[in-house]
Amino acid sequence: MNYSLKRILIIFISFSIFAGTVNLLIITSSYSNKNEHEFWLIHTYEVLDLVSQLKVQVKRAETGQRGYLLTEDREYLVPYKQGINLSLNTYEALKIKTKDNPTQQKRLTELYDILNQKFSELEQTIQFAKKGAMDEAKKLVKTDIGRHLMEEIELVLLAFEQEERYLLNKRSRDYIEAKSLHSTSVIILECVYIILIVWLIYSIRDKVLKPLRVLGLYIKNYPESEKFEIAKDNNCIEVSELAQGIKSRCSESEKAIIQLKQNEQEMAEQLKSVTQRALALCSSNEHFTAKLSSMLQQYFRDKQGAFSHEDIDHILKLTISERDSNKELELYLKNNINQSDKI
């Protein structure tokens, strides 16, 4: 099939733009998808970190309470109060982070009630200690209410953490798949461009360079190059037109050369005809001159007194000179005839 070089370039540019646009959309989508999965992956790690912090802060508050009960040193109230405040702040952060997850929100609501009970139990023991009622404080501790509440807190946080671990595994897989899709899209885009470039190079080589090489051989070996096949169907239109143009010009040149040879032959024939005619004239002149010379000689013998001897001698010399000139002209014209015959 014949293609113009312009059409090949248009096809290449069109496919490049189309492939680039499609792949750009895929890459943009996959990149956005990757970023979204990455966001949720980081989000899950942040939630797990908050769960760990909440455990630490609750235990910190409990440690401060026990230290105060054992020593009655008010310095232990500092970690106690910090633990409660940080626990509540961490709880609020968890509530905000998991607002998209109803199951986790339900667990946090349950955890909030248990935390309030736990902090209320810690506060009661501290108030008993501040009032000097250590027996009441120890009695409350020995009821194991605080231990049971702590176990409930740990169970809720464990379930909460397991849910986040499950989400972490799922989101990690999704992130890896999204990242792989993004990388694959980039690779596919590169491959498409490589294929287009290879196709363009092949098209130019097969439809332009090879035909031009054949044309070069055709021109170099003309006219023996008639056996070369040029302007095949698989050439580009420009090369085919160039080939036809060159072949047409060669044919026209050949016709012009033939015409020149014919004209040269006609001129040679005309020259030969003119030369023959001139020879005939020379022959006639020579005959006339010979006759005139004969008559003058006869006249000289018969009527010697009419012309002086010098005059007659001069006429004879002129006649002989004219005859010699005619012979030279005859020889020159004969040579021209021979050259014309050779042409």
Residue 218 included in any domain: no
The per-residue pLDDT for range 224-252, each reduced to its tens digit, is: 555 455 544 455 555 566 666 666 776 77
Domain for residue 221, yes or no? Answer: no
Say how many residues make up the chain.
Answer: 343
Kindly state whether residues 59 and 204 are assigned to the same domain.
yes
Q: Mind listing the pLDDT tens digit for each residue in 176-220?
A: 887 887 788 778 878 877 888 888 787 777 766 776 676 676 666
Same domain, 84 and 121: yes
197 and 105 together in one domain? yes
Identify residue 200 by its one-letter amino acid code: L
Q: Which of 169, 190, 208 is the last residue of a domain?
A: 208
42 in the same domain as 184: yes
Whether 213 maps to a domain, the answer reads: no
Residue 229 maps to a domain? no
Three-state secondary structure of the chain: CCECHHHHHHHHHHHHHHHHHHHHHHHHHHHHHHHHHHHHHHHHHHHHHHHHHHHHHHHHHHHHHHHHHHHCCHHHHHHHHHHHHHHHHHHHHHHHHCCCCHHHHHHHHHHHHHHHHHHHHHHHHHHHHHCCCHHHHHHHHHCCHHHHHHHHHHHHHHHHHHHHHHHHHHHHHHHHHHHHHHHHHHHHHHHHHHHHHHHHHHHHHHHHHHHHHHHHHHHHCCCHHHHCCCCCCCCEHHHHHHHHHHHHHHHHHHHHHHHHHHHHHHHHHHHHHHHHHHHHHHHHHHHHHHHHHHHHHHHHHHCCCCCCHHHHHHHHHHHHHHHHHHHHHHHHHHHHHHHHHHC
pLDDT of residue 129: 84
Strand partners, 236: 3
Question: Do 63 and 165 reside in the same domain of the chain?
Answer: yes
Is the pLDDT assigned to residue 341 strictly greater than 70?
no
Omega before 223 cis (within 30°)?
A: yes
The whole-number average pLDDT for the span 128-151 is 85
> What confidence score (pLDDT) does residue 175 get?
81
Judge whether 31 lies within some domain.
yes
Q: Contact 179/2 with Cβ under 8 angstroms? A: no
Give the tens place of pLDDT for each residue, 73-130: 889 899 999 999 999 999 999 999 999 899 999 999 999 999 999 999 999 998 888 8
Instruction: Please check whether residue 227 lies inside any domain of the structure.
Output: no
Q: Do 266 and 185 have their domain in common?
A: no
Instruction: Return the higher-pLDDT residue of 90 and 271.
Output: 90
Same domain flag for 204 and 242: no
Contact criterion met (CB below 8 Å) for 223 and 254: yes
Residue 149 shares a structural domain with residue 11: yes
Domain boundary among 208, 229, 254: 208
Q: What is the pLDDT of residues 35-87, one digit of tens each?
A: 887 888 899 999 999 999 999 999 999 999 989 888 888 898 999 999 999 99
Is residue 204 located within the same domain as residue 243? no
- Determine, yes or no, domain membership for 296: yes
Q: Are residues 201 and 305 in the same domain?
A: no
Neighbours of 44 (CB within 10 A): 22
Q: Which of 113, 111, 100 is nearest to 51 (CA)?
A: 111
Q: Are both 55 and 185 inside the same structural domain? A: yes
The residues with which 3 forms a beta bridge, in sequence order, are 236
For the chain, the domain total comes to: 2
Residue 286 lies in a domain: yes
Domain coverage including residue 70: 5-208
Greater confidence, 166 or 262?
166
Q: Let me know: does 316 contact 248? Beta carbons within 8 Å.
A: no
Residues 275 and 316 in one domain: yes
Cα(185)–Cα(21) distance, integer angstroms:
12
Q: Which of 208, 229, 245 is the last residue of a domain?
A: 208
